[in-house]
Amino acid sequence: MTAEERLLLHGQEHVLKRLDGLSAEEREELTVRLAAIDWEELEQWKRPLSSLERGQISPIAGLKAQEIAARREEFFRVGAEAIRAGKVAAVLLAGGQGTRLGSPAPKGMFDIGLTRPRYIFEQLISNLLSVVKETGAYVPLYIMTSEKNDGETRAFFEEHDFFGYPAEEIKFFVQDMAPSVDFEGKLLFEGRGRLALSPNGNGGWYSSMQRAGLAADMARRGVEWINVFAVDNVLQRIADPIFVGATILSGLMSGAKVVRKCDPHERVGVLCLEDGLPSVVEYYELTEEMANARLEDGTLAYSFGVILNYLFNAKRLGEIAAEKIPVHVVKKKVPYMSEGGELISPQTENGYKFETLILDMVRLMGSCLPFEVEREREFAPVKNRTGVDSVDTARELLQKNGVEL
Ligand code: UTP
């Protein structure tokens, strides 16, 4: 099938019209982008994933904070040994657009300091350095950026001497981009010949690492466990030896740091079992009955809120790499250029983006250990400027934990 036929088949006549009016260079660039489109995935705008497709949900057993405290030394010993043997790597997910924070720069460059600069990236590296201090070994760090923020992110790290982390232990890679479509499934453009592209969600980290040759790099280094974490939780422990040790000793294929839900309706995704496999159920998918269900010990049955800090078994990741992870079709406001050449920033949702989510990988891993951490000590996400999960709340929590701002 020719490229033209393919566009017609998928109802993209408007793209053909655009191609006609482009310079040779623009046309070349657009042709390359079009060739990379996964049409099957794009067609999913017609049938978005819905909660109706959920399997049988049941509670999952996990390690509670008290049990972790009791076995702390044992877990630490095993985890620290793995880190010293070079078996643990960390992956920082920094490809998001941070729209809620509303800063044009990459989120990690946001300064949360009060009396001196304290950048989010700096705080994360400092958290990792505390593990280096405890174990006496550096953890290789891979940083995922997107086409939109890669240059700025790399330059920022260089400018700040990698915040004291050895440069040779840090590698960057760029995540894949996905096109957006309008409500009729037509590809949106952000420029005359440029498709409206955005990062394809945080579930794309492993395939993007593979494409960049970094999954092979990890294998060469003998990495057996990968700690993947979000850019915005400034309090989290990274490559936490206790978490690593507990997951290794559990014999399971992954681990997830979780915080205990403070009330049955808190807006966090909870880890549970779905048809016997680990899965994350969003708060809006929980029925009233499930939200209030209690275990024999009186605690909420669905109380392990995920905080986007996972440990994955590298071998198992390799095995499931070929399996397709579900694509979520999400309604968004997508800025675009009209056919008349006018740039439009819509005030309401006008199209769909296609995203894969890391939480769907947990299911593919086959098994997962929920590992409870204390919210006040390990969970301070910077999502918004003010209010819930904001710069303000994160600052307060950092200070409570003795970080000078
Ligand atoms: P969020 O889901 O909070 O998205 O990302 P975001 O883009 O940072 O912020 P909003 O929703 O636009 O305000 C959770 C984590 O996943 C990363 C983010 O950088 C963050 O660490 N992420 C998200 C990616 O790396 N790539 C993506 O495509 C999306």
Q: What is the pTM of this model?
A: 0.94
Kindly give the distance from the C-alpha atom of residue 21 to the centroid of ligand 1, in angstroms, as a whole number: 35
| Residue that is written with structure tokens 């079009």 in the block | 34
Kindly give the distance from the C-alpha atom of residue 379 to the centroid of ligand 1, in angstroms, as a whole number: 16
Q: Tell me the C-alpha distance between 40 and 19, whole Å.
A: 22
Residue 49, pLDDT score: 61
Q: Tell me the C-alpha distance between 246 and 243, whole Å.
A: 5
User: Which amino acid makes up residue 308?
Assistant: L
Pairing of the two strands 197-199 and 270-274: unpaired
Q: Tell me the C-alpha distance between 146 and 95, whole Å.
A: 5
Q: Tell me the C-alpha distance between 207 and 377, whole Å.
A: 32
The token pair at 97 is 């657009």
φ/ψ of 195, rounded to 5, equals -65, 150
Q: Which of 131, 53, 168, 150 is nearest to 309 (CA)?
A: 131
Residue 34, pLDDT score: 94
Residue 297, pLDDT score: 87
The preferred substitution site among 150, 229, 231 for testing ligand 1, maximizing ligand atoms within 8 Å of CB, is 231
Kindly give the distance from the C-alpha atom of residue 297 to the centroid of ligand 1, in angstroms, as a whole number: 36
Q: Tell me the C-alpha distance between 172 and 275, whole Å.
A: 37
The preferred substitution site among 107, 109, 145, 202 for testing ligand 1, maximizing ligand atoms within 8 Å of CB, is 202
Kindly give the distance from the C-alpha atom of residue 78 to the centroid of ligand 1, in angstroms, as a whole number: 32
Positive or negative, the CA dihedral 307, 309, 313, 318 is positive
Name the residue with the closest Cα to ligand 1, atom 20: 230
The preferred substitution site among 143, 209, 232, 386 for testing ligand 1, maximizing ligand atoms within 8 Å of CB, is 232
Q: Which of 282, 210, 263 is nearest to 51 (CA)?
A: 282
Q: Tell me the C-alpha distance between 265 and 267, whole Å.
A: 6
Ligand 1-lining residues (CB < 6 angstroms): 93-100, 107, 144, 175, 199-202, 230-232, 308, 383
Residue 50, pLDDT score: 58
User: Which amino acid makes up residue 126?
Assistant: S
Residue 175, pLDDT score: 95
Query: Which region, left, alpha or beta, applies to residue 310 given φ > 0 means left and ψ of -120 to 50 means alpha?
Result: beta
**SS3 assignment, position 85:** coil
Angle formed at CA 72 by CA 251 and CA 253, multiple of 5 degrees: 20
pLDDT along the chain (405 residues), means of 10: 90 91 92 92 79 81 96 98 98 92 92 96 98 98 96 98 98 95 96 93 94 96 98 97 98 98 90 96 88 91 96 96 88 91 94 93 96 96 93 96 93
Residue 360, pLDDT score: 92
Q: Which domains are assigned to the chain? A: 36-400 (3.90.550.10)
User: Which amino acid makes up residue 37?
Assistant: I
Q: Tell me the C-alpha distance between 302 and 59, whole Å.
A: 6
